[in-house]
A and B are shown apart, each in its own frame.
Chain A
Amino acid sequence: MAPTRVITGQGSKLGRTIHGLAYDPVHDEIVVPNALADAILVFRGSANGDEPPIRVIQGPCTKLVTPHSVSLDLEHGEILVASLTGKRINVFRWNASGDVAPVRMITGPQTELGHLVGIAVDPKRNLMAVANSEDILVFDRLADGNVAPRARIAGPKTGIIDEPWQMQFFKGKIFLAASNHLHVNLYSGVTLKESSKAVPDDPWLNPTLGFVGVWDITDNGDVPPRAMIRGPFSGLLHPVGLALNPTDGEIYVSDSVRNGILSYLVPDFFEPKDQTLSGSHHKE
């Protein structure tokens, strides 16, 4: 099927490598990172065609470095940005524009931040989480500077192998697209690393397939997902994008190998955490 509308072209300031976006229903805006221009773009919710953003956050004061994903704190009016190579989380006011400094920035060796491609914020519980290189890190929402995460969900029981991707929060649950592709970067920029010895296998042919996993925001350590979508009937191979529609009980998932979007009707995934989930790992 064809899209209903397309935002595209030079005037949009979009790149053709967009790995995150979020919709703001309060202000009816779309927030998109442009990793190749170290920028955050904000569009009208009804934007169409070669339409310019209504605001752009970009410049040396922003300290944005390859911003790959965004999450919106609608309660406190903030945009949270995860950087892929910058190993940082930048927080801006929702209406920030131009070359502005972030109101908070989490960065430094204590943070354990690595290859970040997913971020989500839970304003009710004052928590945020990021999809890190091989794990989920949970921080206090107001964390700032070189701070350690308050929790780390990682290990063989989690099923997360490499590069967990987009994540969302809903009522105390973390929803994650765990891609489990195996990305081996042989280069540092355009310089071949001395350690590079052989062409890796196709990253999308990792026989351990990806999944959609649900954890509780209070989980910590090597904790299996409390609910999952995975397996041959699901059609998921290496899922990366993930959006929630709690009203209709649907989860939307993009899959890189399929180059498409799949929709799952899982209303029980959105129920309070103390209720049984149909896709519970513990039912195996």
Chain B
Amino acid sequence: MTTARSKTKRVTGWAVALTGIVSCAALVGSSSEGHRSQPFPEDIPAARMVADPYSALNGIAVDPQSNLVVASDPNRKSLLFYDRSHNNNTGAQTVPMRQIIGPATYIGMVASVVVDSGRQEIYTANNDIEDTVVVMPYAAKGNAKPARVLSVPHQAWGLALGRSTDELAVTAEIFNAVVFYRREAKGVEAPVRVIRGPRTRLADPHGIYWDDANGEIGVASHGNFRGVLRNTGSGCSPAPGSVATAEESGEFRPPSIAIFSAKGKDDEKPLRVIEGDSTKLDWPMGIAEDSAHNTIAVSNNGDNSILIFDRRRGGNVPPLRVIHGDRTGINRPMGLAVDSQNGEIWISNYGDHTALAFDSGADGNVAPKRVLRSAPAGTPSPGFGNPMALAYDMKRDEILVPN
């Protein structure tokens, strides 16, 4: 949750607000009211606006064969393509090679992004009520139509491609599930299988990786859990006939990484689970396996770190390495990708408009090898991720904004 001062920068006119998000300007134009020469009395210009005019980087993927880094941008609703080897050491905004943006793209509040380097396709998950996975060809730019759009369950966040089974895996936060589709699924198509249930240990799942070499899938969970529990009557009165009535009930579970067989389904137990205080997991977001080092890398949003675990271990295990500290530049990390070919770990920072590349063996408080910037260095970020409620704190004259 973020809080922002209510007395903020005053915009110089309402037109400034309309230039903040290009795709939104198009929306206004499509309104039936967009061509009025005189405003109605209710068409009241905003006195102030707090918004980020720059792209905010969320998911990230890397393709070393094409020397490409792709990032999802839920703020301006776009996908950005960067030169993988570029290093922005000037503090200026990094000019992307191209950007996919506009109303035809179906790109909305996008989260994870994965690339299929062989087929030159990009997959991104719309996390909010769009409830879709959008597939774009590498060559797409501007207001491009997707190659495919697939309807998926609500709150899709993580994506992974299984080369061995030719499938797409999608995590669904609110349903504590991983949903699998044919890789080429499009439109309205039922999943081929689902991992879901109390034995799975999935609880508000986010990032997911697919380890084809070892036939495994790993899923990072935040721990928010909605289950179906029976009211035993302890502490409150059971409803009449409650023996047969199962009521939903939530609980907070520890954050975790659950590793399943790549062929897992239904209420299947994971092969092993990384969970417990020693793990240092704290809102684990993007996750990837590094086959060259037999490790799993996780962007740890809650404490601004990258955790590296032994891929083969489970339980309350400490990370092998932790990239953390003021020199790292890690700031609310979201996406994470591993480039085994070049020995690099990439993360996207939602806190400050950057994507960072670290050496795969990095440890401790180390500076990144390279930086990409979607805004000039030092540009503040409100950190909004579709703020759908507000409150006013009259004691502090602050606006409270949840994400």
Interface residues of A (CB under 8 A from B): 1-23, 25, 28, 30, 32, 34-39, 45-46, 50, 58-66, 69, 86, 99-101, 117, 165-166, 181, 183, 185-187, 189-190, 192, 196-200, 202-205, 207-209, 211, 227-235, 237, 240-245, 247, 250, 252-254, 256-266, 278-281, 283-284
Q: Check if A39 sits within 8 Å of B188, measured CB to CB.
A: no
Q: Which residues of A contact B109 (CB under 8 A)?
A: 256
Indicate which residue in A11, A204, A265 contacts B47 across the interface (CB closer than 8 Å): A265
Do A261 and B388 form a contact, CB below 8 Å, given A36-B224, A232-B43?
Answer: no
Known: A15-B222, A243-B399. A254 touches B390 (CB 8 A): yes
Among B2, B32, B250, residue most surrounded by chain A Cβ atoms (within 10 Å): B250
Chain B residues with CB under 8 Å of A181's CB are: 129
Does the CB pair A257–B391 fall under 8 Å? no
Mark the stretch among B80-88, B315-323, B378-386 that contacts chain A.
B378-386
Asked whether B389 lies within 8 Å of A241 as measured between CB atoms, the reply is: yes
Interface residues of B in 116-175 (CB under 8 A from A): 128-132, 149-155, 172-175
Does B9 sit at the interface, judged by CB under 8 A? yes
Residues of A within 8 A of B301 (CB): 8-9
- For B14, list chain A residues within 8 Å (CB): 233-235
Please tell me which one of the listed residues A203, A245, A265 contacts residue B394 in the complex, with CB atoms under 8 A apart: A245
Contact between B302 and A8, CB atoms less than 8 A apart:
yes
A99, A187, A231, A256: which contacts B39 (Cβ < 8 A)? A231
Binary A-proximity of B1-42 (CB < 8 A = 1, otherwise 0): 111111011000010011011011001101111101001111
A207 and B35 alpha carbons, distance in the complex (Å):
13
- A101: which of B41, B47, B74, B237 is its contact (CB, 8 Å)? B237
A254–B398 CB distance below 8 A: no
* B98 in contact (CB, < 8 A): no
* Dominant secondary structure at the B interface: loop
* A259, B386: Cβ atoms closer than 8 Å: yes
Interface centre among A14, A17, A25, A100 (most CB of B within 10 A): A17
Inter-chain contact B42/A228, CB cutoff 8 Å: yes
Beyond A230-B43, A256-B386, A260-B49, is A99–B236 a contact (Cβ under 8 Å)?
yes
A246 CB → nearest B CB, Å:
9
CA distance A42 to B377 in the complex (A): 36
In the bound complex, CA of A4 to CA of B301 (Å) = 19
Bound Cα distance A231, B387 (Å): 21
Measured CA separation A18–B2 after assembly (Å): 11
Provide the residues of chain B in CB contact with A46, threshold 8 Å. 396
Inter-subunit contact A237/B282 (CB<8 Å): no
> A283 with B252: in contact, given A23-B392, A50-B302, A204-B27 (CB under 8 Å)?
no
- Whether A279 contacts B41 by the Cβ 8 Å rule is yes
Asked if A1 contacts B42 (CB within 8 A), the reply is no
**Could you tell me if A1 and B394 are in contact, using CB atoms closer than 8 angstroms?**
no
Which one of A32, A37, A61, A86 lies within 8 Å of B402 (CB-CB)? A32
Q: Which residues of B contact A183 (CB under 8 A)?
A: 129
Q: Which residues of B contact A199 (CB under 8 A)?
A: 132, 149-151, 187-188
Q: How far is the CB of A260 from chain B (nearest CB, A)?
A: 3
A284 touches B40 (CB 8 A): yes
Contact across chains for B154 and A185 when beta carbons are under 8 A apart: yes
**Could you tell me the distance in whole angstroms from the C-beta of B304 to the nearest C-beta in chain A?**
10
- Cβ–Cβ < 8 Å partners of B255 in chain A: 10
Closest 6 CB pairs of A and B: A38-B250, A260-B51, A231-B43, A61-B236, A18-B402, A9-B302
Asked if B46 is at the interface (CB within 8 A of a chain A CB), the reply is yes
18 more A-B residue pairs beyond the given contacts A196-B151, A204-B27, A278-B44, with a C-beta to C-beta distance below 8 A: A1-B4, A2-B381, A16-B222, A25-B394, A58-B250, A60-B229, A186-B131, A189-B175, A205-B30, A208-B32, A230-B40, A235-B14, A235-B18, A243-B399, A256-B386, A260-B384, A261-B401, A283-B41
* Cβ contacts under 8 Å, B189 to chain A: 192
Neighbouring B residues of A66 by C-beta, 8 Å: 174, 226
Q: A18-B403, A187-B131, A199-B188 are in contact. Are A262 and B49 (CB under 8 A)?
A: yes
Is B217 close to A, CB under 8 A? no
Identify B391's interface contact among A23, A189, A265, CB under 8 A.
A23
Contacts of B390 in A (CB 8 A): 21, 166, 241-243, 252-254, 261
Write the nearest CB–CB distance from B2 to chain A, whole angstroms: 4
Residue B223 is within 8 A (CB to CB) of chain A in the complex: yes
Contact B389 A166 (CB under 8 A): yes
CB of B106 within 8 Å of the partner chain: yes
Contacts of B381 in A (CB 8 A): 2
A254 to B74, CA, bound (A): 15
Q: A6-B1, A37-B250, A190-B153 are in contact. Are A263 and B47 (CB under 8 A)?
A: yes
